[in-house]
Amino acid sequence: MDTNSIEKAYKRYANIYDLTFDRIFHHGRELSAGLLEPMPGDRILEVGVGTGLTLPFFPDECQITGIDLSEHMLTKAHQKVASHGMKNVEVIQMDAMKMDFPDNHFDSVIAAYVISVVPDPVCVLKEMLRVCKKGGRVVFINHFQCDNRLISSLERLVSPLSRHLGFKTDLELEPLLSQVPELSVQKVEGVNLYNYWKVVQGINNKDATAKEGVNC
């Protein structure tokens, strides 16, 4: 999946996104935002903010920045920010694989249902860790390839459709985590329908590998 097909897919989704994906993924968003354990004054980054469905779960006392590639999804997010009067939120167009923020800029970083959408999930996780302070929380929620053999073969079967669907169906969690050793995983919890999605909560331990900068 490349950025062009992502933009095309989410241009199609933007008008129907909330109607389709608000309620079914609601619990996961709420849980993930809570796992950031935000403190008053924290600067929080939401990667792939989409239409802004996670924004209401962040405390008013925090400074929230949401980024997304799709201008059509962001238009909806802007409308939500205005209609909810969220004065502590800004949403901007930016590629999660090449963020404009300096190192260590945010207290915590979250990505809801994004990791299987981006062309390079490892690159995005590394960028999330780069812009987050050491010791900060990094939380992401996503569907990962199922342990059940029948379901996982179905997921692999439909994976060639990912360009049209706008997300990958067969991303595996363990190989992904092994490529970001600087993320110290605290919790992995099943959530939403049949616990088919997983929330991963980690602490940014980036000095563990003493790497600076991200090259994707």
Ligand X SMILES: C[S@@+](CC[C@H](N)C(=O)[O-])C[C@H]1O[C@@H](n2cnc3c(N)ncnc32)[C@H](O)[C@@H]1O
Give the binding site for ligand X (CB under 6 A).
6, 10, 21, 29, 48-50, 53-54, 67-70, 73, 95-97, 112-114, 117-118
Of 77, 88, 83, 156, which Cα lies nearest the Cα of 112? 77
DSSP 60: T
DSSP 69: S
Contact between 216 and 152 under an 8 Å Cβ cutoff? The reply is no
Place of tokens 């990667």: 47
Q: How far is the CB of 48 from ligand X (least distance, A)?
A: 3
Q: How far is the CB of 207 from ligand X (least distance, A)?
A: 26
Bridge partner list, 89: 64
Tell me the two tokens of residue 80. Answer: 């939500």
HEC sequence for 80-148:
HHHHCCCCCEEEEECCCCCCCCCCCCEEEEEEECCCCCCCCHHHHHHHHHHHEEEEEEEEEEEECCCCC
Q: How far is the CB of 150 from ligand X (least distance, A)?
A: 25
Considering beta carbons, is residue 139 or 183 the nearer one to ligand X? Answer: 139
Q: Distance between CA 170 and CA 153 in Å, rounded? A: 9
Q: How far is the CB of 172 from ligand X (least distance, A)?
A: 18
Contact between 184 and 205 under an 8 Å Cβ cutoff? The reply is yes
Considering beta carbons, is residue 62 or 115 the nearer one to ligand X? Answer: 115
Considering beta carbons, is residue 90 or 207 the nearer one to ligand X? Answer: 90
Q: How far is the CB of 37 from ligand X (least distance, A)?
A: 19
Maximum C-alpha span of the chain: 47
Considering beta carbons, is residue 110 or 183 the nearer one to ligand X? Answer: 110
Q: How far is the CB of 210 from ligand X (least distance, A)?
A: 26
Considering beta carbons, is residue 40 or 102 the nearer one to ligand X? Answer: 102
Considering beta carbons, is residue 6 or 183 the nearer one to ligand X? Answer: 6
Place of tokens 């190989």: 175
